[in-house]
A and B are shown apart, each in its own frame.
Chain A
Amino acid sequence: MRDIFTEIWESVRRNKLRTSLTGFAVSWGIFMLIVLLGAGNGLQNAFFKGGDQFASNTMMIGGGYTSKAYDGLKEGRRISIDDKDVKLIEGDAFATNVEQVIATVSTGETASYGKKSTSLTLEGNYPERQQMEKIELVAGRYINSKDIAAKRKVVVLPQNTAEALLPAFSQAQDLLGRHIKIGQFSYLVVGITKSDRMMGNNMAAAPFSTIKTIYNKGEDLDDITFTFHGLKTEKANEEFEEQLRAAVNLRHRAAPDDKRAIWIWNRFSQNLQMNKVGAIINVALWIIGLFTLLGGIVGVSNIMLITVKERTHEFGIRKAIGAKPWDITKLILAESVTITAVFGYIGMFLGMLTCRLLDKTLGQSTVSIMDDQIAMLVNPSVGLDVAIEATIVLIVAGSIAGLFPARKAARVRPIEALRAE
């Protein structure tokens, strides 16, 4: 091993400029690959951040309008979800998969505090929702079971809504423990949640029982959310959704396959799809990166060919004194792989450094879209897996680059090479 590296070093040392120029192309290729993948990861982290926000095994259903005539009823009929649907989902039919079922009722309202007011959606919620949607609290607490039992008039506000109700430059937390007016009633602010940048809406949470009573909602619900288990594949999810849709539709006298009668939002399969999109973006970035690297590889192949040409005489000598063809092939291949790997690692290192730099600069900045701050890049970096994959790419690329020159070198015939010059 050491002998081969000595040989490579001797060869590279004689061609410093040429080697470093070609090496630069390889470094550049890997650098681009790493930066692209890093930035891609950052973008995906930023966009799909919402996806991580939810417990991925939840499904939400809500009412819609029928699109088919069924059971003597016309199409275009409104379906609203109600308490009996909760019973149905909780029931034996879906017991193998369904875990916890909660419902919400909501209404649009105007909230005011002092002279300031803002519109919000007031949602009657259960405490379990916090878990299911991974709602992050900035201060205070979420709705609890006592609130439900006592039908307390308490509210949990998103940060941006709270800020909208306060004088400029004050902290959302200042509203904690204060009473604000929502609609006709006064509510105690018990918690502040992080604003949901992805949804961009002002969802204020109050106890389910309170809202249901105040707004006299009867049996009607806005949506039903439940957690489930045992549905691992997209296919299993689809089948489950179909069964669920059929059961709920039939209860409302809608065609079992009517996809508009109720809507189902499955976060699990949505996550699967997001992951798929992420994977496609990743593949696209790899392809771009690899094509950039290709230029470097061609360069390495090129200088290796020149090297072989220059060293024909030397290879002839080596073969005359006993070098086997493989000894010569090995020499060129090893040189090619070494050049590619060394410069590749320089590029990889610089690429990772640049990702760090991106994180420190662009990663900290946000873009304002519709009053919402959206991060451009979140944690743009590549993992160990990419480093390992890139290493494999470098070794394979170096071998490919060296393959033809090495074969040419191995075919050198000693008598021709040694013919007096």
Chain B
Amino acid sequence: MLIELKDVNKTYNNGQPLHVLKGIDLSIDKGEFVSIMGASGSGKSTLLNILGILDNYDTGEYYIDGRLIKGLSEKQAADYRNRLIGFIFQSFNIIGFKTAVENVELPLFYQGVSRSKRHEMAMEYLDRLGLADWATHYPNEMSGGQKQRVAIARALITKPKIILADEPTGALDSKTSEEVMQLLGRLNREEGVTIIVVTHESGVANCTDKIVHIKDGLIGRIEDNRMHRASVFGADTIMK
């Protein structure tokens, strides 16, 4: 198993204690294309933060590729995030004053890769996502779909074990949303990248092979969706 969560609990102590994750058990294998679905307040964002080593959990165990992720120093956590995980965010989170190619290079910069090498790699990834011509453009000159593709290139460049996508289509129109989901699907099929999408949109979830429902801090149903028929409405498109 690539990802294994065993009885993961998380409580927020902001005034009133809030038990957000109440014992999550979840396994995701290498090469899977999974979505985690839940309503707002279900704990899916917290789960994503823990999966992404952006937040820590109270009890339980979390393994990535057999490595226990617990009680890491900030430095170590940063290193794991950099090498193991690629993030795709709803609001793209690409840096506004850097060009597309500079944004894509950034994770490699933190790995200490030389300038020419990382530039070469970033151009290669932008090219694969059809953005070679946009390399020297700034984010404010690009469309939402293009920005998200820059973010995807940035997530892929370190060849991470997992891609974590947090509502990747949340800020896109339905056509672009579909393109992005198809792109993720293709990356999964053709290159075997493990992708976890967190969403509340059934149409988006329907694009994935497995849907994990989360409700009130517990894993509910796990749907096999290899036929992509989970959502009646989302059979052909993503509803907005």
Contacts and interface: CB of A to CB of B under 8 A. Distances in A.
Interface string A153-167: 000000000000000
Nearest to A318: B106
A40 B52 CA distance: 61
Contact of B75 (A3, A325, A414, A415): A325
B90 to A, nearest CB: 6
B142 interface: no
Given A10-B98, A414-B54, A322 B79 contact: yes
B87 A321 contact: yes
A326 B112 CA distance: 14
Contact of B83 (A14, A322, A323): A322
Interface in B82-114: 82-83, 87, 89-91, 93-98, 106-107, 109-111
A3 B106 CA distance: 11
Contacts of B98: 10
Interface in A1-24: 2-3, 10, 14
A321 B154 contact: yes
B174 interface: no
A321 B94 CA distance: 11
A198 to B, nearest CB: 63
B95 A317 contact: yes
B78 interface: yes
B49 A10 contact: no
Interface in A317-369: 317-327
A316 B87 CA distance: 12
Contacts of B96: 314
Contact of B78 (A314, A325, A420, A421): A325
Nearest to B83: A322
Nearest to B90: A420
A418 B90 CA distance: 10
A2 B75 contact: no
B83 to A, nearest CB: 7
A322 B90 contact: no
Contacts of B49: 415
Interface in B112-163: 115, 154, 158
Chain A interface size band reads: 20 to 34
Contacts of A14: 97
Nearest to A325: B74
Contacts of A321: 81-82, 87, 106-107, 110, 154
B110 A327 contact: yes
A172 to B, nearest CB: 72
A52 to B, nearest CB: 56
Nearest to A11: B97
B179 interface: no
Contacts of A420: 90-91
Most B-side CB within 10 Å, residue of A316, A317, A325, A421: A317
Contacts of A324: 74-75, 78-79, 110
29 contacts: A2-B115, A3-B109, A10-B98, A14-B97, A316-B93, A317-B95, A320-B52, A321-B81, A321-B87, A321-B106, A321-B154, A322-B79, A322-B82, A322-B111, A322-B158, A324-B74, A324-B75, A324-B78, A324-B110, A325-B74, A325-B75, A327-B110, A414-B54, A415-B49, A415-B54, A418-B89, A420-B90, A420-B91, A421-B91
Interface of A: 2-3, 10, 14, 313-314, 316-327, 414-415, 418, 420-421
A-B pairs with the 8 shortest C-beta distances? A322-B82, A322-B110, A324-B78, A321-B107, A324-B75, A317-B93, A415-B54, A414-B54
Given A314-B95, A318-B95, A421-B91, 4 more contacts: A10-B97, A321-B110, A322-B107, A325-B75
Interface of B: 49, 52, 54-55, 74-75, 78-79, 81-83, 87, 89-91, 93-98, 106-107, 109-111, 115, 154, 158
